[in-house]
Amino acid sequence: MWFSPIKNHLLPHLGMMPVVKIDQHDIKQALSRGWETSPVTAKKALSRLKVILSYAIAEGFDVNLGIIDQARILLGVPRHTVTHIAALDWAEAPAFYQSLGELAPAELALRMLMLTGVRSDAVNNMQLEQITENKWTVPLEHVKGRKGFTKPFRVPLSDEALRVIDLARAIEQNGYLFPNSRGGPLNKMAMRNYMVERGREARPPMDQPQLACTPQTRPWAGTTTITKAMWRSRRIHPRRHRPKPPEMGQT
């Protein structure tokens, strides 16, 4: 993942050049197309190129680190229009949940995704050994965050979530509750592909960490009676240790 932006955006243009010969114009030429079509990835490539050049300097190469900022100036402000991925409307969620089957791995995984609000990567890799009574411990390798700053976290499981786990035991392979055809974890696109097959453009519902206040889940709060204070409190976002908000009418 770290190397991917470099491989796709920089190596085709700069891969055969000596590091001491690269200048801001070379970087601009390498990133100009991606800067407009996929600016987030292009910015990652530029940032990681800076890490590479810093290492080259540490090794004794005559490299000017200022070419990164100069290239950024030459590239200018991206004109790319951001298009947000559609999310399942909250009002449709109960009916959609009821329409899911109780045997196919992708459908059971979607049920667990909606019931827990945990990222799809963790759901795809959910294993029996991670379940203790009515709690699911998401291991470190499936928690998004900066390396060294994240830790495993526990997810309380409702009676319905426990029922889904019991259903998944019938198809479990090699410990994976939602296995692929080879007995490994469910493919990362399986749930998305299932929704596409059903004619839905929205991404799998609640595919965000622990009901965080994000562009996808914020509409769910904005159209219900959940207050902004509650939405940002520990009751909605247990991974953030914020104080309990005052009761309505109090200061």
**Rounded to an integer, what distance in angstroms lies between the CA atom of residue 251 and that of residue 175?**
50
Q: What is the pLDDT of residue 49?
A: 95
Residue 100 shares a structural domain with residue 35: no
Domain carrying residue 218: 213-251
With respect to residue 196, please indicate whether it lies within any of the assigned structural domains. Answer: yes
Last residue of a domain, one of 75, 102, 127: 75
Q: Are the CB atoms for 143 and 152 separated by under 8 Å?
A: yes
Flag whether the pTM goes above 0.85. no
The pLDDT of residue 206: 55
Phi, psi of 188, deg, nearest 5? -65, -20
CA dihedral 206, 209, 213, 215 (to 10 degrees): -60
159 and 222 share a domain?
no
Same domain? 102 vs 185: yes
109 burial level (CB within 10 Å; 0-12, 13-18, 19+): buried
Let me know if residue 68 belongs to a domain.
Answer: yes
Query: What's the total number of domains in the chain?
Result: 3
CA neighbor of 113 nearest in space, from 103, 132, 100: 100
Would you state the pLDDT for residue 205? 61
Encode the chain (251 residues) as per-residue pLDDT tens digits.
788 899 989 999 999 999 999 999 999 999 999 998 888 899 999 999 999 999 999 999 999 999 999 999 999 988 867 677 777 877 888 899 999 999 999 999 999 999 998 889 999 999 999 999 999 999 988 888 777 778 888 999 999 999 999 999 999 999 999 999 999 999 989 998 998 898 887 776 655 443 444 444 444 444 454 444 444 444 444 444 444 444 544 44
- Would you state the pLDDT for residue 212? 41
Judge if 183 and 243 occupy the same domain.
no
Boundary-marking domain end, from 23, 47, 75:
75
